[in-house]
Amino acid sequence: MPPTIAVIPGDGIGKEVTAQAVSVLTAVGDRFGRRFDLVHLPWSADHYLETGVTIPPDGYDTLRGFDAIFIGALGDPRVPDNRHARDILLGTRFELDLYVNHRPVRLLDERLCPLKGRQPRDVDFTVFRENTEGVYVGIGGRFKAGTEDEIAIQEEVNTWKGVDRIVRHAFEFARARGKTKVCMADKSNAMTHGHALWQRVFKEVAARYPRIEATHYYIDALAMYMVLDPGQFQVIVTNNLFGDIITDLAATFQGGLGMAASGNIHPGRTSMFEPVHGSAPRFAGKNIANPIGAISSAALMLETLGMKDEAAAIDAAVLTAVRENQVTADIGGKLGTREAGDYIAAAVRV
Ligand code: NAD
Ligand code: IPM
Ligand code: MN
């Protein structure tokens, strides 16, 4: 049976980059004699504005029935409260309990890095962002909203189980890949309750991995060291919000947001893959968005599904496109979204 994949192109450039990721999947299928059973779902701002439905009542169950989910991006200025993105993107992360946000940071070519003199060997680490807790749980409220007496509360939730499973995942990944260091970042000097839990759990888990060096930075210092000396990092584990922020920063090391890939994973269950970037409304419909973040996310999806050779073929084709400068303008090329995707698809078929 071919793997079944739900495809949600979503909004803005999400639609354009998803089309390229799908074409590269087809190419990899042709090369390896495989078929992927892709089912496109229309959930998006357009769909919400037409029907009033963000995700149907059985939507999460529908998604659970697939082997994997691929999302382009969600976000549209016509939906200012971002309700559909909350239901489709964050809702899927929560409802399918996709607690690992896996965001690789890999520089493919020196010329793409804004940091002076950095080579690919200096920028090669993985961020594990906790993906089901933190400030994203939406617990809180506003009292006397719109007045000068307004009080707004947004709680940060940290649970032992939630922190333990993401920290363990980071160490397990390090062990499986032969990495020697895991760095945890928190703000336990200011957030003395919630992040004391991160400190406790990190020490407990690290003690079970004596061959892996466990290091810690406060998140502000981590951001500084990422810029100053990215080569010291192999695996970073942090909470939901900090992970969101540092992976946009880390995307710039790789050539920009158009390059960065991610997976929202619950090991052994249906997981969801998407580029780190959003719908970039100003770029939408212009055939200028870089499809590599989406294409590399498709590779991460195949790798997670156990198709290592297929994933490696996509990664190699992306590397060729970058080395030959057959890429979009954001990373110094002259191609459009479609042409850049076509080049990678052709390189996969070789
Ligand atoms: P964004 O990632 O959409 O874009 C920020 C900037 O990054 C763009 O203006 C562009 O300069 C660059 N960029 C992003 N993707 C690119 C690509 N593929 N190729 C070339 N350049 C690219 O972030 P934003 O402007 O803050 O958010 C726009 C909308 O997307 C918002 O509604 C936001 O909530 C949403 N969003 C969605 C996701 C997601 O679906 N996973 C992620 C981030 C933001
Ligand atoms: C991301 C995005 C989302 C997040 C937004 C769209 C809610 O920025 O996937 O990185 O903050 O998780
Ligand atoms: Mn983000």
Task: Please give the average per-residue pLDDT across 65-72, as a whole number.
Answer: 98
Task: Please say if the pLDDT value at position 317 is more than 90.
Answer: yes
Structural element, H or E, at residue 220: helix 219-228
260 CB near ligand 2 (under 6 Å) = no
156 CB near ligand 2 (under 6 Å) = no
Spatial strand order of the sheet with 68-73 comes to 37-40, 4-10, 68-73, 271-275, 261-265, 100-106, 124-130, 235-238, 181-186, 213-218
How many angstroms is it from 280 CA to the middle of ligand 1? Answer: 4
Alpha-carbon distance of 280 to 78, in angstroms, equals 13
How many angstroms is it from 207 CA to the middle of ligand 3? Answer: 31
Ligand index nearest the alpha carbon of residue 278 = 1
Positions of E strands within the chain: 4-10, 37-40, 68-73, 100-106, 124-130, 140-143, 151-154, 181-186, 213-218, 235-238, 261-265, 271-275
Task: Please say if the pLDDT value at position 297 is more than 90.
Answer: yes
Ligand index nearest the alpha carbon of residue 277 = 1
* Assessment of whether the complete model's pTM goes beyond 0.85: yes
3-class SS letters over 84-138:
HHHHHHHHHHHHCCCCEEEEEEECCCHHHCCCCCCCHHHCEEEEEEECCCEHHHC
244 CB near ligand 2 (under 6 Å) = yes
Q: Provide the mean pLDDT of the chain.
A: 98
- Ligand 1 atom 27: the closest Cα is on which residue? 278
Confidence of residue 1 (pLDDT cuts 50, 70, 90): confident
How many angstroms is it from 217 CA to the middle of ligand 2? Answer: 23
Query: The tokens of 112 are what?
Result: 């793409």
How many angstroms is it from 244 CA to the middle of ligand 2? Answer: 7
Neighbours of ion ligand 3 (CB under 5 A): 244
**pLDDT at 50 (0 to 100):** 98
Task: Please give the average per-residue pLDDT across 284-308, as a whole number.
Answer: 98
Using CB distances shorter than 6 Å, the residues near ligand 1 are 13, 17, 73-75, 82, 85, 89, 256-258, 274, 277-283, 289-290, 293, 330
Per-residue pLDDT reduced to its tens digit, 130-175: 999 999 999 999 999 999 999 999 999 999 999 999 999 999 999 9
- Ligand 1 atom 23: the closest Cα is on which residue? 278
Alpha-carbon separation of residue 102 from 116, 166, 275, 308, 323 (angstroms): 26, 10, 11, 17, 25
How many angstroms is it from 4 CA to the middle of ligand 1? Answer: 27
Mutational test site, ligand 2, from 81, 89, 264, max ligand atoms within 8 Å of CB:
89
Structural element, H or E, at residue 47: helix 45-51
| Interstrand relation of 124-130 and 261-265 (parallel, antiparallel or unpaired) | unpaired
